[in-house]
Amino acid sequence: MQMINTQRLGERFKMFAQIDSESRSEFEISRVIEKILTDLGASVCFDNAAEKVGGDCSNLVAKFKGTKDVPPLFLSGHMDTVVPGKGVKVQFENGIFTSDGTTILGGDDKSALAIILEVMEVVKENNLPCPPVEIVFTVCEEIGLLGAKHFDLSLMDSKFGYILDSTDTKGIVTRAPSANDIIIKVYGRSAHAGAAPEKGISAIFVAATAIASLELGRIDAVTTCNLGTISGGMATNIIPEYVEIHGEARSHNLEKLKQVTDNIASGFETAAAGLRKEGQEFPRVEIEVAQDFPNTNIPEDHLAITLARKAADNLGRKLESKTTGGGADANIFFGKGIVAGVLGTGMTDVHTLKESISLSDMENTAHLILEILKVHGEGDTAL
């Protein structure tokens, strides 16, 4: 087994974690990464996603020509973090990285950046045979997969690859749900709450009536829905004339996704109709539904899966197919015809101040990626 430089991997992760890169502010870390990749001999470019996502940085694409005449594969992670991600101070004790407790750590997804770069370092310094590799580091993943949604596919030749953006180092995510964004606008009529409440129509009451009629949370094994935010009203002495609710529905089954989305819409429409007096316009509702991301469903016999399993077997490990309820850049790529298995780096308690990751987990993932490159470079497409 080729040796991963564990110390370098850890030091690079720490450096990345301490570079501020909350969503829409990835410029600084992207330039650090660009230099590393250029020094490794990659050709590096950026697409024009920045103007589309309203950020200071676009998606980064790096290409290594490789030494083997096999189809290219891509490796990917995202450069942005959630908040609070400014001024991260990394702590390292007993092989575990954490923050100082005042910010997130950023293992999601800077562990991916460090691992991928370490693998390419090892390939270069050991002059290892390698397939063509394309690296895609996206922006604004944490605020709606925006970088992937606006990624310029013409910059990439790969049709399959791996995204490092999961916890489980013993699994590969092959199935993830499709999701709909749902915006519900409820219109009532304002009036003085003390002097003439009977002249008003409370949009909050309409919304509450509708919400009380709905089944929310886990609908079945593959379907969930949630109403996440609600805003409206102006003052306690004014009957609220407007309320806006934002929610989502997710399912691995597209028919069930449509059904649960329709049920939410129907619940609000029915509530408004039931409270509307004959001949009146209000209350009324407007409902907007848009796909947030498509589903992922990778066949078990796809090269991305068989290749990763073969590599894991070579290392004496087992790699299980996993189903998740979350969305990732992989969903967006899958919807564009690019297959991406999602691999874990060991990050835990992500998006919290208790986030942590072990150096050994990152090292193990680096070995797996290195072995994937080796096996693919051997060109055994039958596997």
Give the CATH number for residue 203: 3.30.70.360
Residue ranges of the chain with per-residue pLDDT less than 50:
382-383
Instruction: Please report whether residue 39 resides in a domain.
Output: yes
383 is a domain residue? no
Domain identity same for 18 and 110? yes
Q: What is the domain count for the chain? A: 2
Residues 24 and 156 in one domain: yes
Place of tokens 């290392």: 315
Q: Which two tokens stand for residue 358?
A: 């072990």
* Residue 257 included in any domain: yes
Burial class (CB in 10 A: 0-12, 13-18, 19+), 144: middle
Is 382 contained in some domain?
no
For 252-284, the DSSP string reads SSHHHHHHHHHHHHHHHHHHHHHHPPTT---SE
| Residue 172 shares a structural domain with residue 182 | no
Backbone angles phi, psi at 231, to 5 degrees: -145, 150
Indicate the burial class of 255 (C-beta count within 10 angstroms; 0-12, 13-18, 19 or more): exposed
State whether 91 and 29 are in the same domain: yes
The pTM for the full model equals 0.93
Neighbours of 198 (CB within 10 A): 7
In this structure, are 39 and 164 located in the same domain?
Answer: yes
> The domain containing residue 164 runs over which residues?
6-176+295-377
What pLDDT does 2 receive? Answer: 59
Residues 172 and 315 in one domain: yes
Final residue before a domain boundary, out of 238, 262, 292: 292
Residues 10 and 88 both lie in one domain: yes
| Residue 1 located in a structural domain | no
Do strands 339-344 and 160-166 pair parallel, antiparallel, or not at all (unpaired)? Answer: parallel
CATH of residue 66's domain is 3.40.630.10
Place of tokens 């092959």: 174
How many C-beta atoms lie closer than 10 Å to residue 211's C-beta? 18
Are 377 and 70 in contact, with CB atoms under 8 Å apart? yes
User: In 10 A of CB 294, how many CB atoms?
Assistant: 18
Fill in the amino acid letter for 144.
Answer: G
Tokens of 73: 């594969």
Same domain, 332 and 280: no
Domain shared by 319 and 281, yes or no: no
Strand 73-78, strand 91-93: pairing: unpaired
Q: Are residues 76 and 110 in the same domain?
A: yes
- Asked if 32 and 123 sit in the same domain, the reply is yes
Is the domain of 138 the same as that of 232?
Answer: no
pLDDT tens string 91-144: 999 999 999 999 999 999 999 999 999 999 999 999 999 999 999 999 999 999
Choose the final residue of a domain: 262, 292, 322. 292
Q: Which of 272, 292, 312 is the last residue of a domain?
A: 292
Q: Catalytic site residues?
A: 80, 141
